[in-house]
Amino acid sequence: MGGADPTNLLDRRARSVLSLGVRAGDDLDHLLLDARVWIIAPCYKVREHIGRVIARTPAWVEGIVCVDDACPQGSADYIEAEISDPRVVVVRLPENQGVGGAVMAGYAEAARRGARILVKVDGDDQMDLAYLSQLVVPILLGEADYTKGNRFSSAGHLSGMPGIRVFGNAVLSFAAKASTGYWNIFDPTNGFTAMESSVARLVAKKPVARRFFFETDLLYHLGTLRAVVRDVPIPARYADEVSNLKIGAVAGSFAFRHLRNFVRRVFGQYFVRDFNVATLEMLFGAALVAFGGAYGLHWLAVREPGQVASAGIVMAAALPVIVGVQLLLQSINFDAMNVPTRPIHPYLRTLERIGGE
């Protein structure tokens, strides 16, 4: 067990370089060369774009895993025939597994090859790789386990985004806050993400959704691990790419999955793994709202025609509802303040180092 932990040394080097500001870009580039960053690019009907994605990948990225998700355009054959970048590794999936399945396969391959930070990039060239270091650095500094782009950080970032996507992402973001417990993030469907490899190995054991619900379901499972997630402001880019996501076809499924994850999260977090003041606020709040609502409806059902409710009856129905709603709001406030703040990957890295000695 002797010797210094190289990952801790890397964190200290990162802090010393960044504490000096932008003194020298070469220092940061050299630091990132040591970070063992790998890109995972799912490839499905992106043959016209994947070459540009690879060409724009910074030199400090150690490897690029291109996952051919049974692409009908033969992405794997095209990459192997036309792309000469020695960092590229092609993974072929015999059957289409969706974006989630492709990303998880890419995570496994990159981690097997020694990657420490795994960056997921779509193969359609929507993501500006000039922001790649901004995703990586919070993990490198040990301040986050998972980082993701946020296209809503400023009005200027939304200038290129279609209006329907702005509205849809706003609705999905609020639903995701409730179902995942990460009240501090926005734009949950953003696919420009980075994850520490030891955390990815834990996530790989979870039943993460394999298709379009992947990014949000991944956040839910990261929440069960108490991983720290951080948003990184990154503008959207839209050109001639065609989305495979049909909103009408997935709206009902997304709503059901959000509700399911919300119920699972609340039950697991506040009734199984812990029992605290928020649990009591939920129980008493729900009971009071139910009592007040039931009392009021019962009185309406049995009253005489034209009978006017007395002040006592009104208060007996309204007061429990008012107090119950206040208790439920307090439980939501507690939940929002209960977002994970201590990254787990330094602990996981230490366990891996001890186990390997």
- Rounded Cα distance between 261 and 181, Å, is 10
Instruction: Assess whether pLDDT exceeds 50 at residue 279.
Output: yes
Span 126-179, pLDDT tens digits: 888 999 999 999 999 999 999 999 988 766 656 666 676 677 777 888 999 999
Token pair in block for residue 289: 């709202």
Instruction: State the pLDDT at residue 1.
Output: 40
- Identify which has the larger pLDDT, 9 or 307: 307
- Rounded Cα distance between 127 and 120, Å, is 10
- Rounded Cα distance between 110 and 119, Å, is 10
Burial of residue 136 (CB within 10 Å: 0-12, 13-18, 19+) is buried
Instruction: State the pLDDT at residue 65.
Output: 97
- Rounded Cα distance between 52 and 260, Å, is 39
Instruction: State the pLDDT at residue 3.
Output: 46
**In a 3-state reduction of DSSP, which class is residue 277?**
helix
Instruction: Give the predicted TM-score (pTM) of the model.
Output: 0.85
Please compute the mean of the pLDDT values over residues 25-53 and round it to a whole number: 85
- Rounded Cα distance between 330 and 337, Å, is 11
Give the full edge-to-edge strand order of the sheet including 193-196: 88-92, 63-68, 37-43, 117-120, 193-196, 146-150, 229-233
Token pair in block for residue 37: 């960053």
10-19, 73-82, 181-190, 209-218 — which is least confidently predicted? 10-19
Inter-CA distances, 310 with 290, 296, 314, Å: 21, 12, 6
Burial of residue 155 (CB within 10 Å: 0-12, 13-18, 19+) is exposed
83-92, 201-210, 241-250 — which is least confidently predicted? 241-250
Please compute the mean of the pLDDT values over residues 113-132 and round it to a whole number: 92
- Identify which has the larger pLDDT, 22 or 242: 242
